[in-house]
Amino acid sequence: MRKPVLIALFTLCLATVSLQAQQATRPPERRFSYGLFAGVNHTGAYLPTSLTRQVNPLAGVDLQYHLTPRSSLHLQPSWTQVSSDNAKSQLYAGASYALRLAMLKVPVLYRYYIGENRKLFFVQAGGSYNLLTNSNFRQEYYVQCFVGPCPPVLALNGAASNKSAISGIAGLGFNIELQRVSIPITFQYERSITSYLFPSQFDAPPTAVKFDTFSLTTGVNF
């Protein structure tokens, strides 16, 4: 009597595992979808000296290709600004920097949903191609001043000599499923792999600028 019961339980376990595997790997009902998102990023620049971190806006489109019910690829073209400086006092010798950029970002991300329910958390990772649409890097150099602020002895303004750079991205988020749409809330970290190059004073090598960014976004997926 015990042997048939064990065989039945073993068969039931195999059937359950097989069903779960099929659910995780079966093609989704709809391959393509899209969404809109917006948010803020908190960006710091490195020259190699670091500049102050500032909050800037970003907005974009989320083009999605669903691999399985629990995984998808995302192409997220977006526009953002980056501004940063080091606010050097003019009463002391040294240099001050001010950086202003506008760029079109084209991230490609792999997203995986954790747990059996798509409403739960997801993780994602990938890379981004970042194309400058506008750039200016201002460098000012000061001598020691004893009475009042002194004007800079040298001021340089310049645009980046290269218009593109590559960065790596990792993040996590939560997806709220509604009747016809879903609302993703995403927190991610991005760090430059290659640099933007800006002209330096005299015949010095160009100044290489890299970024790291924390961003928080939300939107709607249709």
Residue carrying the six token digits 């039945």: 8
Q: What is the pLDDT along the chain (222 residues), one digit of tens a residue?
A: 444 443 444 444 444 444 444 444 555 567 999 999 999 999 988 876 677 788 999 999 999 999 998 899 999 999 998 887 765 544 444 667 788 899 999 999 999 999 766 568 999 999 999 999 999 888 776 666 666 566 656 667 788 989 999 999 999 999 998 888 999 999 999 999 999 998 876 677 888 889 999 999 999 999
Residue 109 has what pLDDT?
Answer: 98
Residues near 79 by Cβ (< 8 Å), separated by ≥ 6?
A: 58, 59, 60, 102, 103, 104, 105, 133
Residue 184, both tokens: 């993703």
Residue 26 has what pLDDT?
Answer: 52
Domain ranges of the chain: 28-221
Strands, E assignment, 114-181: 121-142, 154-158, 164-177
* CATH fold of the domain at 28-221: Porin (2.40.160)
Residue 32 CB-half CA count within 13 A = 2
The answer to whether the predicted template modeling score (pTM) of the entire model surpasses 0.85 is no
